Amino acid sequence: MEAIVCEAYGPVDDLVLRELPEPVPGPGEIRLQISAVGVNFPDALLVRGLYQVKPDLPFVPGIECAGTIDALGEGVSGFEAGDRVAAMSPRFGTYAQAVVVPASHAYLLPASLEFTQVGGLLCAHGTAYHALVQRGSLQAGETLLVTGAAGGTGLAAVQIGCALGAHVIAACSTAEKLEVAKRHGAHTGINTSGDDLREAIRSLTGGNGADVIFDPVGGELAGALSRSVAWRGRWLVIGFAGGKIPQLPLNLPLVKGYSVVGVFWGNFCEKEPDQARQNHQQLFELTASGALQPQLHAVMPLAQAANALQQIEQRTVCGKIVLTP
């Protein structure tokens, strides 16, 4: 099978297309013939050796995909060859024509959904749903501020926040990205490149601050965000696409009575698999009904994985890029 291989930690340009043996499923595992692969910002961090974990070299990047089961390991139940599924791979490896994953990390797809619709759904929309529902307890009528609101995870949060009945404020780095967020439901927006973020949030919330902040950016935005959370609000820490892990003055959540809440979708799926399965099935149903409409920035062949990751690193992507082996 063909696969994208990282042979040394470094620039994504160094990724190579190699012919590898097709993996064999062990007990409790299934093998997928992959039809669509979601490309995510952590994939680039992984290749550069900057992610929370460092797999042994060489390795195949990628954490999510959709495809068809063609082999089952011993003890697998609830699936059969020919089933269409979306899956996440805790050992990476989805930038390939086939991958082996634990059966517990695969989710049956409704017949109405295309592989390209769901190939990039689990990570972005799964993170956003878990963050807003389980970690942020977002309620209808509350104000939700989403940073990086035109990226894959941010745009998912905009859509899910609207579906939950929140008033959604999108924060983006360009006017063009703001328009994308508004087309997907954001009620209003802030241009973080030109507006005073703290003052804009104050103005748009009547001085109260945001009830929930969904923040995959961190970096330089954190100073303003730390002073823009409402009383009893929740600041959801999703990631650090801004490139810098901010330092937080802990007197602010103390005085303002807000919570800083970490969100790590991968660990959630490992530690709470039953709840994760319920979340993902709910996302499939919302997508099939049209309530969620994943934004595809581009569908590209597997061989162009490096180019896809470059676009994500350069922050030129609105929504998700999906690779097709």
Question: Looking at the structure, do residues 98 and 136 belong to the same domain, yes or no?
Answer: no
Collapsing DSSP to helix, strand or coil, 2 comes out as strand
Residue type for 158, please? V
* 299 Cα distance to chain centroid: 17
131 and 260 share one domain: yes
CB atoms within 10 A of CB 182: 18
Asked if the structure places residue 147 within a domain, the reply is yes
Instruction: Find the helix or strand (DSSP H, E) in which 323 lies.
Output: strand 320-324
**Nearest-angstrom CA–CA distance, 299 and 146:** 25
| 140 and 241 co-located in one domain | yes
Pair 14, 103 in one domain: yes
Q: Would you say 277 and 79 are in contact if contact means Cβ atoms under 8 Å apart?
A: no
Give me the domain span that covers residue 99. Answer: 2-120+294-324
pLDDT number for residue 194? 84
For the chain, what is the domain count? 2
Quick one: 109 and 192 in the same domain?
no
CATH code of the domain in which 102 resides: 3.90.180.10
Please, what are the averages of pLDDT over each run of 10 residues along the chain (325 residues)?
97 97 97 97 93 92 97 96 95 97 95 91 94 97 96 94 97 93 95 91 96 94 94 95 84 94 92 93 92 89 97 88 96
Smallest CA-to-CA distance from 85 within 62, 103, 61, 60 is with: 103
Residues 255 and 224 in one domain: yes
Tell me which of 227, 247, 265 is where a domain ends. 265
Clarify whether residues 208 and 319 are in a common domain: no
How confident is the model at residue 160, as a pLDDT? 96
DSSP letter for each residue of 239-303:
--TTS------THHHHHHT-EEEE--HHHHHHH-HHHHHHHHHHHHHHHHHTS--PPEEEEEEGG
Work out whether the CA dihedral 24, 29, 33, 35 comes out positive or negative: negative
Q: Under DSSP, is residue 163 helix (H, G, I), strand (E, B) or coil? A: helix
**pLDDT at residue 53, as a whole number:** 86
> Do 248 and 131 share a domain, yes or no?
yes
Do 160 and 106 share a structural domain?
no
**Is residue 21 in some structural domain?**
yes
In a domain? residue 16: yes
Clarify whether residues 127 and 251 are in a common domain: yes
Supply the pLDDT for residue 292: 86
> What CA–CA distances, in Å, run from 101 to 42, 71, 136, 153, 168?
19, 11, 29, 23, 36
- DSSP code at position 12: G
Two structure tokens written together for 319: 């929504």
Contact (Cβ atoms closer than 8 angstroms) between residue 106 and residue 86: yes
Q: CATH number for the domain including 135? A: 3.40.50.720
Question: Within this chain, do residues 71 and 98 fall inside the same structural domain, yes or no?
Answer: yes
What is the model's pLDDT at position 176?
Answer: 92
The pTM assigned to this predicted structure is 0.90
Residue 315 has what pLDDT?
Answer: 85
Q: Is residue 276 a part of any domain in this protein?
A: no
For residue 23, what are the CA distances in angstroms to 1, 73, 85? 9, 11, 18
pLDDT of residue 7: 97
d(CA 216, CA 321): 17
270 domain-assigned: no
CA-CA distance, 280 to 87, in Å (whole number)?
Answer: 10
What interhelical angle do 175-183 and 152-163 show, nearest 10?
A: 40
Alpha-helical regions (H) of 77-168: 115-118, 121-129, 152-163
Nearest to 151 by CA among 117, 191, 178, 187: 178
Q: Nearest Cα to 40, choosing from 130, 114, 126? A: 126
Give the pLDDT confidence score for residue 247 in this predicted structure.
87
Secondary structure tally for the chain: helices H, strands E: 11, 15
Residues 39 and 114 in one domain: yes
> Would the CA dihedral through 237, 240, 245, 247 be positive or negative?
negative
Q: What is the DSSP string of 18-62?
A: EE-PPP---TTEEEEEEEEEEE-HHHHHHHHT-SSS-PPSSB---
Instruction: Tell me if residue 309 falls in helix, strand or coil.
Output: helix
In a domain, 137, yes or no: yes
Q: Which of 248, 265, 282 marks a domain boundary?
A: 265
Q: Is residue 228 part of a domain?
A: yes
Whether residue 289 is contained in a domain is answered as no
